[in-house]
Structure 1
Amino acid sequence: MKISIIMSIFNDKVYLKDCLESIRRQTFTDWECILIDDGSTDGSSTILQQYADLDMRFKVIRLPENKGLAGALNVGISKAQGEFIARHDGDDIMLPNRLEEQYAHLMVNPSIDVLGSHASIIDEKGNVTGRLTTPAIPSPRNIMKVNPVIHPSVLIRKSVFEKYGAYNEKLRRCQDYDLWFRFMKHNVTFANLEKELLLYRITDKSYTKKRYKYRIYEAQILWNGLRLNKIPLIQGIYILKPLIVGLIPKKFYENFQRFYKFKRTA
């Protein structure tokens, strides 16, 4: 088994079939998809089982109660048989060549441990509304400015998790940001393919998750990451960004966030 796709599912019924179909359409076929049903109550469980019955590469694990994203992903990683771990979310869509291109790139670049990509932004109806780009080489030099890796775009060598640990289950948000900081502490190497391999969905629901306490979490992660990686204190100014953004009125913030994400560049 080459690739284990790890997905945490919690009430993703609306978009789940399109998501799973995008996995089945991958040009790279040597994969398993571990679907962690994290206490869904909206009918997602039925869809997951339908796909497990349809294609034996889909494997469903049902958790008795909601563990949150980090806990669910850790369960999936612990069960993964693949040499590589691919992340994906239940409302996003993989382009057909995503796994093939990332796997091929890692095969010829054995020094790279974590490989992401750019993404197209889609709305509730699947319309492309923008583009999200990331630095070609995420590093301590740019990680404070913005999360330099799109979480559901990554392909990671499983050995990295085995050496340095997985997601912090105490965190309810920004688990990926925290993970990148910890990986960088151990000189794990990052890269992003400068092409769009993911349709990344941003909906009105995406904004309802941005509670102020999660802004505080993000600021704490930035502070801890700065200290962990001995990043120059001058970059500590970026710690204020999530705290300031959290004070912006909701409607204004939504418009700003759409523009910011769509225009974000390396």
Structure 2
Amino acid sequence: MNHLPKVTIIMATYNRARYVVETLQSIQNQIFKDWECLIIDDGGTDATAVVIAPILAQDNRFKYLHRPDTYRKGLPGARNYGLDVAKGDYIIFFDDDDIVHPQNLELSVLELSHNEVSFCRYIREVFYDTFDYNFDYSKEYTSFYINEKDVFRLLNQELPFNSCAVLWKKECFFENRYTEHLLHAEEWELYSRILSTGITGISIEKSLFFARKHSDSMTGQYFRLDPIRTLSNIDAIVLVLKNLKEKSLINDPIIRYFIAMSHGYTEYDLFGKIMRELEFSGYNYLKWRLFYFILPLRFKITKLKKRIIKKN
């Protein structure tokens, strides 16, 4: 009988021949050994297949797959395919250009094994250019629990849920999948949806993943004001609000947060989309319309007060 791995690592890849081998080697260096890594090629045209061939031949825990056309092109579609073929009890998503701490799976699996929780979150750091492999192997760290009351902290990035910084129990994805048409904020939308179902998790205060920053990264493309990803971000916001409304988790702080955000998307009428999604009319519509118009003035007054305090 074939052995089923405890953990499935899902790695979507697209033209990352330059970095992917280093990432795969960091996965091979995991102290916890009971895993499979599904490398899902999203239609790349570079030498990825060639450079990873020696690793595939040496280590059968790696599987190189191509995203079928039944899944939409893009990171969400590739990851959804990975979810559908994953064999592990636990799921984690790694990017194809980053570095994984050797204790990543060891400590995350340990937390899920010892606690009645559905996911383990940890700290993700970023690096540029060459990575310093001077890892901290300490097993002493603090932790705290997370539940649906923390959805807003996830949404406003007070409690970031980076895709590569959470180990999930597989059942978290039985009813939840990535929204495949989203090309930005797809993780933010999905993870807020999962957390809103009432599951609980644990967050450990230890850096276990290191994200490489470079000009070709997805976030790099977004911050160059790629209009396609800007529209995706708006779609994700509307989907988040729709989910929270359905689960009766909408409250004034959440509304204020997204209305404040809508000032950055005036040309896309994000405010109007928010009002329509929340089905506000009458008093509620006028209340939030007034808040929307007054907000820029409040920002200016706050900045002026800070300047006055600084001078004094």
Q: Same fold (TM over 0.5)?
A: yes
Structure 1 residue ranges (4+ consecutive) displaced by more than 6 angstroms after TM superposition: none
Paired position in structure 1 for 2:17 = 13
Pick the aligned partner of 1:158 from 163, 167, 170: 170
Paired position in structure 2 for 1:89 = 95
1:86-132 superposed Cα distances (whole Å, 9 cap, x missing partner): 1100011101000000000010112x21222112211133369xxxx
Paired position in structure 1 for 2:35 = 31
Q: Are 1:208 and 2:228 matched, yes or no?
A: no
User: Matched residue pairs, number?
Assistant: 240
Paired position in structure 1 for 2:161 = 149
Q: Are 1:137 and 2:149 matched, yes or no?
A: no
Paired position in structure 2 for 1:75 = 81
Distance between the aligned counterparts of 1:117 and 1:148, measured in 2? 10
Distance between the aligned counterparts of 2:17 and 2:32, measured in 1? 25
Q: Are 1:123 and 2:132 matched, yes or no?
A: no
Distance between the aligned counterparts of 1:22 and 1:140, measured in 2? 31
Which structure has more relative contact order (CA 8 Å, sep 6+)? It is: 1
Give the gaps of 5 or more residues in structure 1: 129-134, 248-266
Shift of 1:182: 1.6
Paired position in structure 2 for 1:251 = none
Q: In structure 2, do the counterparts of structure 1 residues 245 and 59 end up closer, same or farther at CA, with 3 Å as the change threshold?
A: same
Paired position in structure 2 for 1:259 = none
Deviates more, 1:227-236 or 1:146-155: 227-236
Q: Are 1:169 and 2:189 matched, yes or no?
A: no
Shift of 1:18: 0.8
Q: Are 1:219 and 2:234 matched, yes or no?
A: yes
Shift of 1:50: 2.6
Distance between the aligned counterparts of 1:141 and 1:213, measured in 2? 26
What residue identity is the alignment partner of 2:221?
Answer: T
Distance between the aligned counterparts of 1:243 and 1:41, measured in 2? 39
RMSD (Å) for aligned C-alpha atoms: 2.6
Q: In structure 2, do the counterparts of structure 1 residues 84 and 243 end up closer, same or farther at CA, with 3 Å as the change threshold?
A: farther
> Counterpart of 1:169 in 2: which secondary structure?
coil
What residue identity is the alignment partner of 1:153?
Answer: A
Q: Does the 8 A contact of 2:145 with 2:200 survive in 1?
A: no
Shift of 1:64: 6.0
Give the gaps of 5 or more residues in structure 2: 134-143, 268-312
Q: In structure 2, do the counterparts of structure 1 residues 37 and 203 end up closer, same or farther at CA, with 3 Å as the change threshold?
A: same
1:38-57 superposed Cα distances (whole Å, 9 cap, x missing partner): 11111112223332111000
Q: In structure 2, do the counterparts of structure 1 residues 227 and 245 end up closer, same or farther at CA, with 3 Å as the change threshold?
A: closer
Shift of 1:216: 3.6
Paired position in structure 2 for 1:236 = 255
> Counterpart of 1:42 in 2: which secondary structure?
coil
Distance between the aligned counterparts of 1:151 and 1:41, measured in 2? 25
What residue identity is the alignment partner of 1:167?
Answer: Y
**TM-score, normalisation: structure 2:** 0.70
Q: Does the 8 A contact of 2:152 with 2:254 survive in 1?
A: no
Shift of 1:197: 0.2
Q: In structure 2, do the counterparts of structure 1 residues 6 and 59 end up closer, same or farther at CA, with 3 Å as the change threshold?
A: same
Q: Does the 8 A contact of 2:38 with 2:65 survive in 1?
A: yes
Q: How many percent identity over aligned positions?
A: 27
What residue identity is the alignment partner of 1:27?
Answer: I
Shift of 1:172: 1.6
1:159-209 superposed Cα distances (whole Å, 9 cap, x missing partner): 1212x2221112122111111122123112233221100111111223224
Q: Does the 8 A contact of 1:140 with 1:231 survive in 2?
A: no
Distance between the aligned counterparts of 1:237 and 1:140, measured in 2? 15
Paired position in structure 2 for 1:250 = none
More helix by share: 2
Distance between the aligned counterparts of 1:62 and 1:226, measured in 2? 33
> Counterpart of 2:82 in 1: which secondary structure?
helix
Shift of 1:85: 0.5
